[in-house]
Amino acid sequence: MTLAFSTQLSGKPTYFVEKICKSLREHCLSLRPTAMATEIIHLSIYHKCKPKNHTIRVDKKDRWKVGTLIHFVINNRTKNRIQFASVVSVESIQKIDIHYIPLTRPLGEFRPCVKIDNKLIFGMDGYDDGTMTALAHNDGFDSIEDFFAYFNTDFKGKIIHWTDLKY
């Protein structure tokens, strides 16, 4: 199945192509970027970026399962569509729930709570044992703040892993 990725979020480049190619290179040594990808990869970014080891998606129809083939794509459904990496299979799936809880003080403020497979990894106290930071980085974000700027409302979905990483 196609996994389409944005090249920009909020006007900033995502470098998801570089981050995913780096992940595949680190975890599946036999895999290479496609010929087309080698033309669009920024090598200076590739060498210094952290790998994107999974993606988080809504899956209302429960289509993503272990073993499903992943086609990594940018510019999906356009004439400029590029499959930028080798096809790999889903290694594992985890459930993720992000829930924003209203605070009484200051009134009107909300705090995110994050659960993976029903296990709390980030609560209202904002304490991070490193798992939340790892989740944000492994999903291609530079920080927890960037992660929550993107996931800024309640969310239920799946973490789709193409590596053996699990939380």
pLDDT, one tens digit per residue, over 79-95 is 999 999 889 999 999 99
Residue with tokens 């080798």: 86
> Rounded to whole angstroms, how far apart are CA atoms 87 and 83?
9
Contact 161, 54 (CB under 8 A): yes
Q: What percentage of the chain carries pLDDT values higher than 70?
A: 93
pTM for the full model?
0.91
Tell me what pLDDT residue 30 has: 55
pLDDT at 118 over 80: yes
Confidence band, pLDDT 50/70/90 cuts, at residue 31 = low
End-to-end CA distance of the chain: 24
Kindly list the domain boundaries of the chain, sorted by start residue.
2-90, 93-161
Contact 134, 25 (CB under 8 A): no
Edge-to-edge order in the sheet of strand 54-57: 54-57, 155-161, 92-102, 110-116, 119-122
Residue with tokens 């969310």: 155
pLDDT, one tens digit per residue, over 101-116 is 998 777 788 999 999 9
